[in-house]
């Protein structure tokens, strides 16, 4: 499927090298298509180059290939299932709106299942947010009078809780979250990051250990760089081993301000 705003030729390479790009996420998302033989040749070449230098992604692709072999063997030994009937499918809608904050305007999006996107408008504009939501198979639409009650209520609650957080009256968020389209690896990283308490710090290596992949510190950093819900999922609390601040998609100035708000200090 071609996504809006992405050229079909070498789109993985283009996306992986763009601003805020996270190659491991792109690689993991492309692996099923590679195993099935549906990946564009240019994208397949980029994926193979990436896994040749990334041990973690290499292991993931190897696991996909082994699973495909086992499934093929099972089909050969048993009766092949009837061809699946593909029915038209409607993409879920993600309704987005702006929200002011002390660190600049934020763009938020919510589906019927929960808050699904939060980004700094100074870093990503509306068009890029639309593209990011489309990559996760959402139909992005601006919030307005026609917004259904559930996503509308989620956007209102998110704005209220963010205001409380910046006003020093809230230390954790209580919102339904929708992680549709996020890879399993990234989801495990986000879940571990969400458990880091207010005002505390964890390292990329520590998050990697929490998810049972102690050698995947770099992949953890890449996954957090595409955290769809910064602040709410507090990737600003994850820093480099040895006391360095690490990176931050919205810029280090915002990361430093969030840590200062929480009273967290680097070693």
Half-sphere exposure of 99 (CA within 13 A, CB side): 24
- Distances in whole angstroms, Cα of residue 119 to Cα of each of 66, 160, 251: 37, 16, 12
24 is an active site residue: no
Residues 228/118, Cβ–Cβ less than 8 Å: yes
- Cα–Cα distance, 238 to 246 (Å, whole number): 8
The residue annotated as part of the active site, out of 54, 57, 116, 235, is 235
Residues paired with 203 in a beta bridge: 239
Report the catalytic residues: 235
């Amino acid at each position: 499927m071609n996504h809006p705003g992405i050229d079909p030729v070498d789109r993985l390479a283009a996306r992986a090298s763009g601003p805020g790009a996270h190659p491991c996420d792109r690689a993991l998302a492309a692996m099923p298509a590679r195993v099935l033989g549906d990946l564009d040749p240019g994208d397949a070449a980029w994926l193979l180059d990436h896994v040749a230098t990334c041990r973690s992604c290499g292991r993931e692709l190897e696991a996909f290939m082994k699973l495909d072999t086992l499934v093929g063997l099972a089909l050969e030994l048993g009766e092949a299932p009837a061809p699946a009937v593909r029915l038209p499918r409607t993409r879920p809608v993600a309704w987005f709106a702006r929200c002011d904050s002390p660190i600049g305007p934020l763009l938020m999006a919510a589906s019927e299942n929960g808050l699904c996107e939060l980004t700094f408008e100074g870093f990503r504009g509306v068009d890029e947010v639309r593209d990011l939501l489309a990559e996760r198979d959402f139909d992005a639409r601006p919030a307005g009078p026609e917004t259904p009650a559930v996503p509308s209520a989620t956007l209102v609650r998110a704005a209220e809780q963010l205001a409380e957080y910046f006003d020093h009256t809230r230390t954790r968020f209580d919102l339904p979250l929708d992680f549709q389209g996020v890879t399993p690896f990234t989801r495990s990283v986000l879940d571990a990051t969400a458990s880091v308490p207010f005002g505390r710090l964890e390292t990329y290596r520590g998050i990697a250990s929490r998810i049972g992949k102690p050698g995947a510190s770099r992949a953890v950093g890449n996954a957090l760089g595409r955290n769809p819900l910064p602040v709410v999922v507090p990737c600003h609390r994850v820093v480099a081993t040895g006391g360095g601040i690490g990176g931050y998609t919205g810029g280090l100035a915002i990361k430093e301000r969030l840590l200062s708000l929480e009273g967290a200090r680097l070693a």
